[in-house]
């Protein structure tokens, strides 16, 4: 069973540009969550998508957005990049079904974004 | 809001010694609790989880954790450290089923030969 795939693994962008990151969840998983990891702030929740709908959102500015496609693949977009957006962006996929009781999340290897 | 604290941002142990990584959560209602490990330039790997079944949870690689409601703690232990255990460890809570994780700040474990 293939794991969570995030592409690209590394990105270097210039301030003011925008970037799109991709996440392919484990087959059958309908929930995809995104987290930002930085040395200063640790792991912070960005948003979660379930069946193409944003279900939860963290405390990030509107420059951070996402979407989920019918095949559960998800993308996140950051517009007008700032130096502080440099981070490891992690995607997690979960099977969250009614009564499934399954809380486990599987993480991808992340995309390392560097803004210069 | 739910919060997680991990005592000690960096813990060093000798190979073969006991590993104890501390985690406390803030909720009065027991949430779902997790320990994840992260190796350099990698994502997070689940070590173990507590979901209101047995209070002593066994995970992979010889790790286990005990849920203590009275202390709002979920400390991670391993009887004998191995060099390959050197990594960063994150405690996380899921306040309610299906909600997002709230992570602790992490503890970097070093294993000395």
Question: What is the predicted pLDDT for the residue at B95?
Answer: 78
Using the predicted structure, report yes or no on whether residue A100 has a pLDDT greater than 70: no
The residues pairing with B77 across neighbouring beta strands, listed in sequence order, are: B20, B64
φ and ψ of B60, to 5 deg = -85, 165
For chain A, the average pLDDT equals 92
Residue B55 — pLDDT band, cuts 50, 70, 90? confident
Find the CB nearest A110 among B43, B98, B105: B43
Which of these, A24, A2, A109, lies nearest to B45 by C-alpha position? A109
Find the CB nearest B106 among A42, A45, A58: A42
Flag whether residue B101 sits within 8 Å of chain A, measured between CB atoms.
Answer: yes
- DSSP codes, B28-87: SS--EEEEEEE-TT--EEEEEEE-SS-SEEE-GGG-EEEEEGGGTEEEEEESS--GGG-E
Question: What is the predicted pLDDT for the residue at A99?
Answer: 53
Give CA separation, A89 vs A7, A44, B17, in Å: 10, 10, 34
- Quote the minimal CA–CA distance from A5 to chain B in Å: 11
Distance CA A75, CA A12 (A): 17
Flag whether residue A45 sits within 8 Å of chain B, measured between CB atoms.
Answer: yes
Using the predicted structure, report yes or no on whether residue B68 has a pLDDT greater than 80: yes
Cβ contact A107–B97 (<8 Å): no
Cβ contact B43–A108 (<8 Å): yes
Cβ contact B100–A107 (<8 Å): no
Residue B32 — pLDDT band, cuts 50, 70, 90? confident
Residue B19 contacts by C-beta under 8 Å, 6 or more apart in sequence? B11, B13, B63, B76, B77, B78, B81, B85, B109
């Amino acid at each position: 069973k293939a794991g969570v795939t995030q592409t690209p693994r590394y990105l270097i962008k210039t301030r003011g540009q925008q970037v799109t990151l991709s996440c392919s969840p484990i087959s059958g998983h309908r929930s995809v969550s995104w987290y930002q990891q930085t040395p200063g702030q640790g792991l912070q929740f960005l948003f979660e998508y379930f069946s193409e709908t944003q279900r939860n959102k963290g405390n990030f500015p509107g420059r951070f957005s996402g979407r989920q496609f019918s095949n559960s693949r998800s993308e996140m977009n950051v517009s007008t990049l700032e130096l502080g957006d440099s981070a490891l962006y992690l995607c997690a996929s979960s099977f969250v079904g009614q009564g499934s009781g399954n809380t486990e999340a599987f993480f991808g290897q992340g995309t390392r974004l560097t803004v210069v | 809001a739910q919060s997680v604290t991990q005592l000690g941002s960096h813990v060093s142990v000798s190979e073969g010694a006991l590993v104890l990584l501390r985690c406390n959560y803030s909720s009065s209602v027991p949430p779902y609790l997790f320990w994840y490990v992260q190796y350099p330039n990698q994502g997070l790997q689940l070590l173990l989880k507590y979901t209101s079944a047995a209070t002593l949870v066994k995970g992979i690689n010889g790790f286990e954790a005990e849920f203590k409601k009275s202390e709002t703690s979920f400390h991670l232990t391993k009887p004998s450290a191995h060099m390959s255990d050197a990594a960063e460890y994150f405690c996380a809570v899921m306040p309610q089923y299906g909600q997002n994780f709230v992570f602790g700040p992490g503890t970097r474990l070093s294993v000395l030969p």
